Structure formats: C-alpha cells, structure tokens
Amino acid sequence: MESKLSHYDEGGKVSMVDVGAKTETERTATARAYVALNKAVLQALPQNKKGNPLEVARIAGIMAAKRTSDLIPLCHPLPLTRVNVELQQDDNGIEIVATASTVARTGVEMEAMTAACVAALTIYDMTKALDKSIEIREVHLLEKTGGKSGTFRRQERK
C-alpha cells in the first residue's frame, strides 16, 4: 500500500497525478453496490410507469462510467473499451456489479465505482414514489487488475 496520498504535489497543493511516464496496460475494475428495497417496491418493479427500473439503471451506470472524469475533479478521462453493469434481484433488494475496462496509463476503479453508484441512484429515483426509506449500501471495489500495483481482490470482512 502507498505511504502517501497521490493527489498532492510537493507543496501540499491538490494536483492531478501525472501519468505521462506510465506504460499503457490493460486495466479492469469491478465494483459493487446494493439497493435495499422493501417487498412492496420489489413486487412493483415490473409495473413501473417510467419503464423497467433495472434496465434504466443498467444504461445509467454505463453512461455514468463514460462521464466519470466530468464528475470526479482529478480523475483522468479514459478511453473505455468495455463497461458492463449487471443487476440481480434478491428477496431484499438489488445487487449491482459494474465492470469497466481500458487500455491506458491509469486505472478504471473510479469508472466502475461511478457506474455502480449511479445505477443504484437510478433505482432509487425510479422507485422513491413508493418508499423514501430505500437504502444504498455496501458500495466498494471488488477487484482491479493491471498497472504497476497489479491485482487487488477484496477480501470479505468478518
């Protein structure tokens, strides 16, 4: 693990990390979010007047990954080669798993995290009329590959 934060210059001012000397490599990141929904909201999903909330959320997540550098101030714009957002309903809500890939000089963790978060927010937006107490939980990076730091896989916490 790095011993210092990367987005500061020698004088302590916030700065964008210079990735110019880094080698372009294949990079992938996968993130997760969970939207906790009550039973009534889960049962109402197929009848949503705005359309299928899960499909709209999937598209919103993909679009968000492509705009990550517009949202996160010091994030580099990346040429994404793939973004995939999968949503799985269970008895308590919706699990979102977002994966982003690129060939670049910096990683795509922020793109995967942004995709998962915006997909979760979209589900909230499309279902809030039924319940304002919906919760977005457990947003985290599951895995990243490529780059100087290599592979990271989240270990489940006990």
H/E run at residue 82 = strand 80-90
Cα separation, 111 vs 91, in Å, equals 28
Q: Which residues are catalytic?
A: 125
What residues does 8 pair with on adjacent strands?
14
Q: Domain residues of the chain, as ranges?
A: 25-146
Asked: is 25-146 a CATH 3.30.70.640 domain? The reply is: yes
The tens place of each residue's pLDDT in the chain, 158 residues long, gives: 456 656 556 766 776 776 767 788 999 999 999 999 999 999 999 887 778 899 999 999 999 999 999 999 889 999 999 999 999 999 999 999 999 999 999 889 999 999 999 999 999 999 999 999 999 999 999 999 998 888 999 997 66
